[in-house]
Structure 1
Amino acid sequence: MSKIEKTEQAWRELLAAKGAEPAAFAVTRQAATERPFTGKYEGHWANGIYRCVCCDAELFKSDTKFDAGCGWPSFSQATSDQAIEERVDISHGMRRVETVCTQCGAHLGHVFEDGPAPTGLRYCMNSASLDFEAL
């Protein structure tokens, strides 16, 4: 799968044209993090698919979403092994595993090993990195 590459300006224009939230560029292209309990999908429980806001790649299904109480939308698994790339992140004095969209490289959030069975994973995502498609 080849990565989608665009200039910074092209990403800004694409996100603006899609009506993405104001923080979408900073989150997806500059690895910013939205404040906890502020994202539009944190308390969102409709049935559907969560997609990358930048390239529309399918990332998570709603039946894997759970309330982790952390303030960000949390999922127990991605839609496929190829949907998300994991990278070691040692910023802010911590060692974490960053998650990015495999297709376009958008920063999504981080994955932690404190999620529910059967995966034991908690994909802690920024709402600003996601779009939702109702089913």
Structure 2
Amino acid sequence: MNLFGGTINNLENGLSYATVKNKTIAQNIANNDTPNYKAKDVSFSKMLNEAQNTYIQANRTDQRHIDFSAKKSTPGVYSYTNLRYRENGNGVDMDKEQASLAENTIYYNALIDRINGKLNTLQTVIKGGN
């Protein structure tokens, strides 16, 4: 039974995206001084496409069929291949990364607030409006 018409599931997917983006930004910041490190980013559209194609499973109609499923570990993450920000080949722009981190934090907190609102609504209904 889907209580919110898929809203909680969509918010959960948004949180997954924000978490992967946050980890990617943190990795870029941590490698700020690493020579030849190329900055990484997360694309929501790439993550969505890969997530739709990630969990492919075969339907076994016979015991002799091979059971398989394909999974990817970090969908949507890609590197800037031709970006060279500094002389040592490093592609991390700290100002951009800090701005992205702040933007992603606001996005994540907004999703958390929306989920809390949905759950508070459910709690109010369960208690009978009191």
TM-score normalised to the size of structure 1? 0.21
In terms of fraction of residues, the more strand-rich structure is 1
TM-score normalised to the size of structure 2? 0.21
Greater relative contact order structure (CA < 8 Å, 6+ sep): 2
